Amino acid sequence: MKLLIAGGTGQVGTWLTAHYRSANHQVIVLCRSKSTDPHTLFWNGCTLGEWAEELNGCDAIINLAGRSVNCRYTRRNLQDMMDSRTNSTRVIGQAISHCQQPPRLWLQMSTATIYAHTFGSPNNEANGIIGGQEPDVPDYWKYSVDIAQAWERALQEIDTPHTRRIALRSAMVMTPSRGGIFDTLLRLTRWGLGGSIAGGRQYVSWIHGTDFVRALDYLILHPQFSGPVNIVAPHPLPQQELMKELRRAWGIHLGLPTTKWMSEIGAYFLRTDTELILKSRRVFPGRLLEAGFDFYYPNWSQAADDLISRYRSMRNHYSPGEKQNAGHNATRFDSL
């Protein structure tokens, strides 16, 4: 296949690119910085350019572009999150509309954050509750849902009659890559800080990186899919249980708990926001399971064991100097 991956230099994009290239597919990465790599093209995420010509005749476009949510939720940052997602979606739709031979499939990143903060029944695609206006939810959390809805609305409003469109409502993608969410959680665990946060009752939805790419492969091969699809493991679990299993897998017993006010102070100094750790995301992959998709890692205990094994293998693979200089792209993909 010929694939275009917009936003392909981040953690998830690097993982996907390595996966498809290892399977001998042609992958072109769209990136906001200049590159000497002939397979990496510059785009600014909001206007047409030479990159648009590569869409003609390609099999699929995968759009992962969007400003990182790992930041302080200031008015400026929230607006950047909104604009980077909706603008990149619209310009890809514009490029597709100009193609004589448009791509057969458009996989558009979305987010499981679109669903309500809940401790109750899991949210699936058929009857999940969209929103976040429960009494115990801060008012500004609603903006994250607004961003997610605007993101999907930008996809829906574009007329691409020959291109199948799927909104990937993805949970946190867990990979051993440096700088990813798993790396962050593991670092806290190794420091003895991997305990419950604000009681730890909030649910965490997640997906192993291998299952993420397998799910995308499945969507590519099964033309009955369009619209929103939850890209999450089938067993979300409370945050305190997630960290307990991570401590077990690493072999450490100490995990100091953190209160809500302590997490707010920590988030301030880490330049991030507590919504990322306090919102209860209990999401279920209804459509994938109904279609017969088989998760390699349906349970967090299995995923944690595998990810730590990969993490240790990756770390041992490098010399001391390489370890110091290895960035988040320096992941071994030979065992995918």
DSSP secondary structure letters along 144-195: HHHHHHHHHHHHHTS--TTSEEEEEEE-EEE---TTSHHHHHHHHHHTT--S
- Tell me the mean pLDDT in the region 242-270: 90
**Which of these ranges, 18-22, 36-40, 296-300, has the smallest mean pLDDT?**
36-40
Query: Rounded mean pLDDT of 294-301?
Result: 98
pTM of the full predicted structure? 0.91
- Helices 209-221 and 11-22: crossing angle in degrees, nearest 10, is 60
Q: Is the pLDDT of residue 316 over 80?
A: no
* 317 pLDDT tier (thresholds 50, 70, 90): low
DSSP three-state, residue 216? helix
Tens of pLDDT, residue by residue over 106-145, are 999 999 999 999 999 999 999 999 975 566 778 888 889 9
Identify whether the C-beta of residue 30 lies closer than 8 Å to the C-beta of residue 43: yes
Query: Structural domains in the chain?
Result: 2-325 (3.40.50.720)
Q: How many residues does the chain have?
A: 336
Got the DSSP string for 196-214? -BTTS-SEE-EEEHHHHHH
Q: Are 153 and 191 contacting, i.e. CB atoms less than 8 angstroms apart?
A: no
Question: In the numeric block, which tokens belong to residue 75?
Answer: 């008015």
Q: Is the pLDDT of residue 319 over 70?
A: no
Q: Which pLDDT score, from 0 to 100, does residue 318 have? A: 52
Q: pLDDT for 70-94, tens place per residue?
A: 889 899 999 999 999 999 999 999 9
pLDDT of the residue at 17: 94
- CA-CA distance, 169 to 137, in Å (whole number)? 21
* Structure confidence at residue 328 (pLDDT): 39
For 191, residues 6+ apart whose C-beta sits below 8 A from its C-beta are none
> Which residues fall within 8 angstroms of residue 147, CB to CB, at 6 or more apart?
78, 81, 82, 85
Q: What is the mean pLDDT of the chain?
A: 90
List C-alpha distances in Å: 65 to 125, 134, 158, 243. Answer: 23, 29, 17, 29
Q: How confident is the model at residue 270, as a pLDDT?
A: 78
